[in-house]
Amino acid sequence: MATAEQIKALLKSHADRDDQRFYSIALQVAAKEARKGHHNVATDLKLAIEKSQKSLRPVTSTKPTPLTQPLKGELKGLLELTPTGVRKSELVLSDEVRERLEHVLLEQRQKAKLSQFGLLPRRKLLFTGPPGTGKTFSAAVLAAELKLPLYTVVLDSLITRFMGETAAKLRLIFDHIQQTRAVYLFDEFDAIGTQRGAANDVGEIRRVLNSFLMFVEQDRSESLILAATNHPELLDRALYRRFDDIIEFQKPGPEQVKQLMSNRLVAFDTSSLDWEVLLFESEGLSAAEATRACEDAAKEAVLHHDAQINTALMKKAIQRRQAGRR
Protein backbone atom coordinates (compact mmCIF):
# COMPACT_ATOMS: atom_id res chain seq x y z
CA MET A 1 0.00 0.00 0.00
CA ALA A 2 1.05 3.55 -0.61
CA THR A 3 2.08 5.48 2.49
CA ALA A 4 0.12 8.50 3.66
CA GLU A 5 3.11 10.61 2.58
CA GLN A 6 2.90 9.22 -0.94
CA ILE A 7 -0.84 9.80 -1.17
CA LYS A 8 -0.36 13.37 0.02
CA ALA A 9 2.37 13.89 -2.60
CA LEU A 10 0.11 12.43 -5.30
CA LEU A 11 -2.69 14.79 -4.33
CA LYS A 12 -0.36 17.77 -4.30
CA SER A 13 1.07 16.98 -7.73
CA HIS A 14 -2.47 16.55 -9.02
CA ALA A 15 -3.49 19.92 -7.58
CA ASP A 16 -0.38 21.50 -9.13
CA ARG A 17 -1.20 19.88 -12.49
CA ASP A 18 2.34 18.46 -12.41
CA ASP A 19 1.85 15.27 -14.43
CA GLN A 20 5.50 14.37 -14.49
CA ARG A 21 5.73 14.40 -10.70
CA PHE A 22 2.39 12.61 -10.39
CA TYR A 23 3.58 9.69 -12.51
CA SER A 24 6.96 9.57 -10.89
CA ILE A 25 5.34 9.16 -7.44
CA ALA A 26 2.94 6.55 -8.80
CA LEU A 27 5.91 4.64 -10.19
CA GLN A 28 7.62 4.83 -6.81
CA VAL A 29 4.55 3.21 -5.25
CA ALA A 30 4.69 0.45 -7.88
CA ALA A 31 8.40 -0.07 -7.22
CA LYS A 32 7.77 -0.32 -3.49
CA GLU A 33 5.14 -3.01 -4.05
CA ALA A 34 7.55 -4.91 -6.29
CA ARG A 35 10.24 -4.79 -3.62
CA LYS A 36 7.77 -6.27 -1.14
CA GLY A 37 7.19 -9.15 -3.55
CA HIS A 38 3.68 -7.98 -4.55
CA HIS A 39 4.45 -8.47 -8.23
CA ASN A 40 0.87 -8.60 -9.48
CA VAL A 41 -0.02 -5.33 -7.78
CA ALA A 42 3.18 -3.73 -9.10
CA THR A 43 2.50 -4.88 -12.67
CA ASP A 44 -1.13 -3.72 -12.54
CA LEU A 45 -0.04 -0.34 -11.28
CA LYS A 46 2.62 0.04 -13.94
CA LEU A 47 0.19 -0.87 -16.71
CA ALA A 48 -2.39 1.57 -15.37
CA ILE A 49 0.25 4.31 -15.27
CA GLU A 50 1.38 3.62 -18.84
CA LYS A 51 -2.19 3.60 -20.11
CA SER A 52 -2.98 6.83 -18.37
CA GLN A 53 0.21 8.47 -19.68
CA LYS A 54 -0.63 7.47 -23.23
CA SER A 55 -4.07 8.98 -23.07
CA LEU A 56 -2.74 12.09 -21.44
CA ARG A 57 -3.93 15.09 -23.33
CA PRO A 58 -1.60 18.02 -23.75
CA VAL A 59 -2.26 20.78 -21.29
CA THR A 60 -3.63 23.67 -23.24
CA SER A 61 -2.41 26.83 -21.68
CA THR A 62 -5.03 29.46 -21.18
CA LYS A 63 -2.48 32.25 -21.21
CA PRO A 64 -1.98 33.83 -24.62
CA THR A 65 1.67 33.60 -25.65
CA PRO A 66 3.25 37.02 -25.55
CA LEU A 67 4.94 37.70 -28.85
CA THR A 68 8.04 39.19 -27.36
CA GLN A 69 8.94 37.70 -24.05
CA PRO A 70 11.79 39.72 -22.57
CA LEU A 71 14.57 37.39 -21.52
CA LYS A 72 15.66 37.79 -17.96
CA GLY A 73 18.91 37.11 -16.15
CA GLU A 74 20.95 34.19 -17.32
CA LEU A 75 18.69 33.36 -20.25
CA LYS A 76 19.81 36.51 -22.01
CA GLY A 77 23.08 35.05 -23.23
CA LEU A 78 21.54 31.66 -24.03
CA LEU A 79 18.51 32.35 -26.16
CA GLU A 80 18.25 34.93 -28.85
CA LEU A 81 14.88 36.29 -29.85
CA THR A 82 15.13 36.21 -33.63
CA PRO A 83 13.08 38.42 -35.96
CA THR A 84 10.73 36.47 -38.23
CA GLY A 85 9.74 39.02 -40.82
CA VAL A 86 9.66 36.42 -43.57
CA ARG A 87 6.93 35.06 -45.78
CA LYS A 88 6.21 31.48 -46.69
CA SER A 89 5.83 32.52 -50.32
CA GLU A 90 9.54 33.48 -50.39
CA LEU A 91 10.58 29.92 -49.64
CA VAL A 92 11.50 27.81 -52.66
CA LEU A 93 11.60 24.12 -51.81
CA SER A 94 11.23 20.68 -53.30
CA ASP A 95 7.69 19.31 -53.18
CA GLU A 96 8.68 16.82 -50.54
CA VAL A 97 10.21 19.34 -48.12
CA ARG A 98 7.32 21.72 -48.67
CA GLU A 99 4.78 18.99 -47.91
CA ARG A 100 6.56 18.05 -44.72
CA LEU A 101 6.62 21.62 -43.49
CA GLU A 102 2.95 22.03 -44.42
CA HIS A 103 2.24 18.89 -42.45
CA VAL A 104 3.83 20.41 -39.36
CA LEU A 105 1.80 23.59 -39.78
CA LEU A 106 -1.43 21.67 -40.27
CA GLU A 107 -0.91 19.52 -37.17
CA GLN A 108 0.03 22.54 -35.08
CA ARG A 109 -3.03 24.46 -36.24
CA GLN A 110 -5.28 21.49 -35.59
CA LYS A 111 -3.73 20.44 -32.31
CA ALA A 112 -6.95 20.88 -30.36
CA LYS A 113 -8.73 18.52 -32.74
CA LEU A 114 -5.89 15.99 -32.50
CA SER A 115 -5.87 16.14 -28.72
CA GLN A 116 -9.53 15.09 -28.56
CA PHE A 117 -8.25 11.72 -29.71
CA GLY A 118 -5.18 11.76 -27.47
CA LEU A 119 -2.93 12.61 -30.43
CA LEU A 120 -0.09 15.07 -30.32
CA PRO A 121 1.06 17.29 -33.18
CA ARG A 122 4.59 16.78 -34.44
CA ARG A 123 6.85 19.41 -32.95
CA LYS A 124 10.37 18.00 -32.61
CA LEU A 125 12.09 18.31 -35.98
CA LEU A 126 15.56 17.75 -37.31
CA PHE A 127 16.54 19.81 -40.37
CA THR A 128 19.48 18.47 -42.32
CA GLY A 129 21.12 19.66 -45.54
CA PRO A 130 23.97 21.67 -47.07
CA PRO A 131 24.61 25.31 -46.12
CA GLY A 132 22.27 27.90 -47.58
CA THR A 133 19.38 25.57 -48.37
CA GLY A 134 16.81 27.26 -46.15
CA LYS A 135 16.97 25.51 -42.79
CA THR A 136 17.22 28.65 -40.67
CA PHE A 137 14.86 30.44 -43.04
CA SER A 138 12.24 27.68 -42.71
CA ALA A 139 12.42 27.89 -38.92
CA ALA A 140 11.56 31.59 -39.22
CA VAL A 141 8.72 30.79 -41.64
CA LEU A 142 7.25 28.19 -39.27
CA ALA A 143 7.35 30.68 -36.40
CA ALA A 144 5.83 33.45 -38.52
CA GLU A 145 3.06 31.18 -39.82
CA LEU A 146 2.19 29.99 -36.33
CA LYS A 147 2.50 33.52 -34.94
CA LEU A 148 4.99 32.32 -32.36
CA PRO A 149 8.26 33.92 -31.33
CA LEU A 150 11.46 32.33 -32.61
CA TYR A 151 14.27 31.74 -30.17
CA THR A 152 17.63 30.66 -31.48
CA VAL A 153 20.18 28.76 -29.44
CA VAL A 154 23.60 28.82 -30.99
CA LEU A 155 25.18 25.79 -29.50
CA ASP A 156 28.71 26.42 -30.57
CA SER A 157 28.91 29.62 -28.59
CA LEU A 158 26.93 28.07 -25.76
CA ILE A 159 29.53 25.35 -25.38
CA THR A 160 32.57 27.60 -25.66
CA ARG A 161 31.17 30.34 -23.46
CA PHE A 162 29.98 28.09 -20.70
CA MET A 163 32.56 25.35 -20.71
CA GLY A 164 31.77 23.02 -17.83
CA GLU A 165 28.27 24.36 -17.20
CA THR A 166 26.54 23.86 -20.51
CA ALA A 167 24.34 21.05 -19.22
CA ALA A 168 23.02 23.37 -16.50
CA LYS A 169 22.44 26.06 -19.11
CA LEU A 170 20.52 23.61 -21.27
CA ARG A 171 18.21 22.98 -18.35
CA LEU A 172 17.42 26.69 -18.17
CA ILE A 173 16.66 26.67 -21.89
CA PHE A 174 14.35 23.67 -21.59
CA ASP A 175 12.58 25.29 -18.61
CA HIS A 176 11.89 28.25 -20.88
CA ILE A 177 10.68 25.89 -23.63
CA GLN A 178 8.21 24.47 -21.13
CA GLN A 179 7.03 27.86 -19.89
CA THR A 180 6.83 29.84 -23.13
CA ARG A 181 5.30 28.29 -26.20
CA ALA A 182 7.53 29.30 -29.09
CA VAL A 183 9.71 27.89 -31.85
CA TYR A 184 13.18 27.02 -30.53
CA LEU A 185 15.93 26.51 -33.06
CA PHE A 186 19.09 24.72 -31.99
CA ASP A 187 21.17 25.95 -34.87
CA GLU A 188 24.51 24.47 -35.95
CA PHE A 189 23.53 21.48 -34.03
CA ASP A 190 26.56 19.38 -35.04
CA ALA A 191 28.43 21.18 -32.28
CA ILE A 192 26.72 18.88 -29.81
CA GLY A 193 25.30 16.32 -32.15
CA THR A 194 28.56 14.60 -33.03
CA GLN A 195 28.69 10.92 -32.25
CA ARG A 196 29.23 10.25 -28.64
CA GLY A 197 32.04 7.82 -29.37
CA ALA A 198 33.77 9.86 -32.09
CA ALA A 199 37.53 10.31 -31.85
CA ASN A 200 37.39 14.11 -31.69
CA ASP A 201 34.97 13.94 -28.82
CA VAL A 202 35.65 15.90 -25.68
CA GLY A 203 34.00 15.07 -22.40
CA GLU A 204 32.05 18.30 -22.28
CA ILE A 205 30.39 17.75 -25.64
CA ARG A 206 29.42 14.24 -24.64
CA ARG A 207 27.88 15.45 -21.41
CA VAL A 208 25.98 18.16 -23.23
CA LEU A 209 24.73 15.73 -25.85
CA ASN A 210 23.53 13.32 -23.19
CA SER A 211 21.71 16.09 -21.38
CA PHE A 212 20.22 17.34 -24.62
CA LEU A 213 18.93 13.84 -25.42
CA MET A 214 17.40 13.56 -21.98
CA PHE A 215 15.76 16.98 -22.10
CA VAL A 216 14.33 16.45 -25.59
CA GLU A 217 12.97 13.09 -24.56
CA GLN A 218 11.35 14.42 -21.40
CA ASP A 219 9.97 17.52 -23.05
CA ARG A 220 6.16 17.53 -23.00
CA SER A 221 5.80 21.21 -23.80
CA GLU A 222 3.76 22.77 -26.57
CA SER A 223 6.77 24.44 -28.12
CA LEU A 224 8.38 23.45 -31.40
CA ILE A 225 11.93 22.20 -31.01
CA LEU A 226 13.99 22.35 -34.19
CA ALA A 227 17.58 21.30 -34.63
CA ALA A 228 19.51 22.14 -37.80
CA THR A 229 22.72 20.59 -39.07
CA ASN A 230 24.89 20.44 -42.20
CA HIS A 231 26.40 17.16 -41.10
CA PRO A 232 23.72 14.58 -40.39
CA GLU A 233 26.30 11.84 -40.93
CA LEU A 234 28.07 13.03 -37.77
CA LEU A 235 24.97 12.73 -35.65
CA ASP A 236 24.56 9.98 -33.18
CA ARG A 237 21.82 7.53 -34.22
CA ALA A 238 20.28 7.94 -30.77
CA LEU A 239 19.39 11.48 -31.73
CA TYR A 240 17.25 10.46 -34.67
CA ARG A 241 14.78 8.63 -32.49
CA ARG A 242 14.05 11.75 -30.47
CA PHE A 243 12.63 13.65 -33.43
CA ASP A 244 9.09 13.40 -34.81
CA ASP A 245 10.36 14.11 -38.32
CA ILE A 246 13.64 14.52 -40.14
CA ILE A 247 13.46 16.98 -43.02
CA GLU A 248 16.24 16.82 -45.59
CA PHE A 249 16.84 20.13 -47.36
CA GLN A 250 18.56 20.00 -50.74
CA LYS A 251 20.21 22.33 -53.18
CA PRO A 252 17.67 23.70 -55.68
CA GLY A 253 17.13 22.15 -59.10
CA PRO A 254 16.97 24.39 -62.23
CA GLU A 255 13.23 25.06 -61.84
CA GLN A 256 13.75 26.18 -58.28
CA VAL A 257 16.75 28.35 -59.18
CA LYS A 258 14.62 30.10 -61.78
CA GLN A 259 11.91 30.64 -59.19
CA LEU A 260 14.38 31.98 -56.63
CA MET A 261 15.95 34.34 -59.13
CA SER A 262 12.62 35.58 -60.46
CA ASN A 263 11.48 36.24 -56.89
CA ARG A 264 14.62 38.16 -56.08
CA LEU A 265 14.55 40.20 -59.30
CA VAL A 266 10.86 41.01 -59.10
CA ALA A 267 11.55 44.76 -59.21
CA PHE A 268 13.39 44.45 -62.53
CA ASP A 269 12.45 43.70 -66.10
CA THR A 270 13.74 40.16 -66.62
CA SER A 271 12.10 39.52 -69.99
CA SER A 272 15.42 39.68 -71.86
CA LEU A 273 17.21 37.14 -69.62
CA ASP A 274 18.46 33.96 -71.28
CA TRP A 275 17.41 31.46 -68.64
CA GLU A 276 19.05 28.53 -70.36
CA VAL A 277 22.45 30.17 -69.98
CA LEU A 278 21.80 31.35 -66.43
CA LEU A 279 20.52 28.01 -65.18
CA PHE A 280 23.46 26.21 -66.79
CA GLU A 281 25.88 28.59 -65.05
CA SER A 282 24.05 28.21 -61.73
CA GLU A 283 24.36 24.45 -61.46
CA GLY A 284 25.47 23.46 -57.97
CA LEU A 285 24.68 26.78 -56.30
CA SER A 286 22.71 26.71 -53.09
CA ALA A 287 19.52 28.75 -52.75
CA ALA A 288 21.44 31.27 -50.66
CA GLU A 289 24.17 31.62 -53.32
CA ALA A 290 21.64 31.97 -56.15
CA THR A 291 19.87 34.68 -54.13
CA ARG A 292 23.12 36.49 -53.40
CA ALA A 293 24.12 36.38 -57.10
CA CYS A 294 20.85 38.13 -57.96
CA GLU A 295 21.48 40.76 -55.32
CA ASP A 296 25.00 41.38 -56.69
CA ALA A 297 23.70 41.73 -60.25
CA ALA A 298 20.81 43.92 -59.14
CA LYS A 299 23.12 46.31 -57.30
CA GLU A 300 25.44 46.54 -60.26
CA ALA A 301 22.48 47.20 -62.56
CA VAL A 302 21.18 49.97 -60.30
CA LEU A 303 24.55 51.65 -59.82
CA HIS A 304 26.02 51.35 -63.32
CA HIS A 305 23.39 50.35 -65.89
CA ASP A 306 20.27 52.49 -65.39
CA ALA A 307 18.65 49.66 -63.39
CA GLN A 308 18.59 47.42 -66.49
CA ILE A 309 19.40 43.81 -65.70
CA ASN A 310 20.77 41.60 -68.47
CA THR A 311 22.15 38.14 -69.03
CA ALA A 312 25.79 39.27 -69.04
CA LEU A 313 25.46 40.95 -65.63
CA MET A 314 23.71 37.94 -64.16
CA LYS A 315 26.21 35.53 -65.68
CA LYS A 316 29.13 37.47 -64.19
CA ALA A 317 27.48 37.53 -60.75
CA ILE A 318 26.72 33.80 -60.89
CA GLN A 319 30.27 32.97 -61.94
CA ARG A 320 31.63 35.02 -59.04
CA ARG A 321 29.45 33.04 -56.65
CA GLN A 322 30.59 29.79 -58.26
CA ALA A 323 34.23 30.87 -57.85
CA GLY A 324 33.54 31.64 -54.19
CA ARG A 325 32.51 28.02 -53.60
CA ARG A 326 35.74 26.56 -54.92
Ligand X SMILES: Nc1ncnc2c1ncn2[C@@H]1O[C@H](COP(=O)(O)OP(=O)(O)OP(=O)(O)O)[C@@H](O)[C@H]1O
Q: What are phi and psi of 247, to 5 degrees?
A: -110, 120
Distance of CA 185 to the CA centre of its chain: 4
Q: Which is nearer to ligand X, 13 or 264 (CB)?
A: 264
Q: CB-wise, 186 or 212, nearer to Mg ion?
A: 186
Nearer to ligand X, 33 or 145 (CB): 145
* Residue 128-167 contact track with ligand X, rule CB under 6 A, x = bound: -x-xxxxxxx------------------------------
The torsion angles phi and psi of 152, rounded to 5 degrees, stand at -110, 135
> Residues for the chain: how many in total?
326
Residue in 104, 288, 294, 298 binding ligand X, rule: CB under 6 A: 288
Question: Residues binding Mg ion: what is the number (CB under 5 A)?
Answer: 2
Q: Which does 166 bind (CB under 5 to 8 A by kind): ligand X, Mg ion, none?
A: none
CA distance 95 to 79: 32
DSSP sequence for 17-51: T-HHHHHHHHHHHHHHHHHTT-HHHHHHHHHHHHH
Nearest to ligand X of 190, 236 (CB atom): 190
Work out which of 25, 42, 45, 91 binds ligand X, going by CB under 6 A: 91
* 171 neighbors 215 (Cβ within 8 angstroms): yes
Q: Indicate the pairing of strand 183-187 with strand 150-154.
A: parallel
Least distance to ligand X, CB of residue 112, Å: 30
CA distance 85 to 88: 10
**Residue 92, binding choice from Mg ion, ligand X, none, Cβ under 5 to 8 Å by partner class:** ligand X
Bridge partners (DSSP) of residue 288 are none
26 binds ligand X (CB under 6 A): no
Residue of the chain from 166, 194, 230, 282 that contacts ligand X (CB under 6 A): 230
Contacts of 22 (CB under 8 A, 6+ apart): 10, 13, 14
Question: Distances from the Cα of 171 to the Cαs of 4, 75, 208, 213, 239, in angstroms?
Answer: 32, 11, 10, 12, 18
Cβ pair 110, 205 in contact under 8 A: no
Candidate ranges 96-104, 133-141, 196-204, 317-325; the one touching Mg ion (CB under 5 A)? 133-141
The 136-155 site mask, x for binding Mg ion (CB under 5 A), equals: x-------------------
Shortest Å distance, C-beta 322 to ligand X:
16
Q: How far is the CB of 187 from Mg ion (least distance, A)?
A: 5
From 93, 125, 143, 293, residue interacting with ligand X (rule: CB under 6 A): 93
Using CB under 6 A, which of 18, 74, 90, 217 touches ligand X?
Answer: 90
Return residues touching Mg ion (CB under 5 A): 135-136
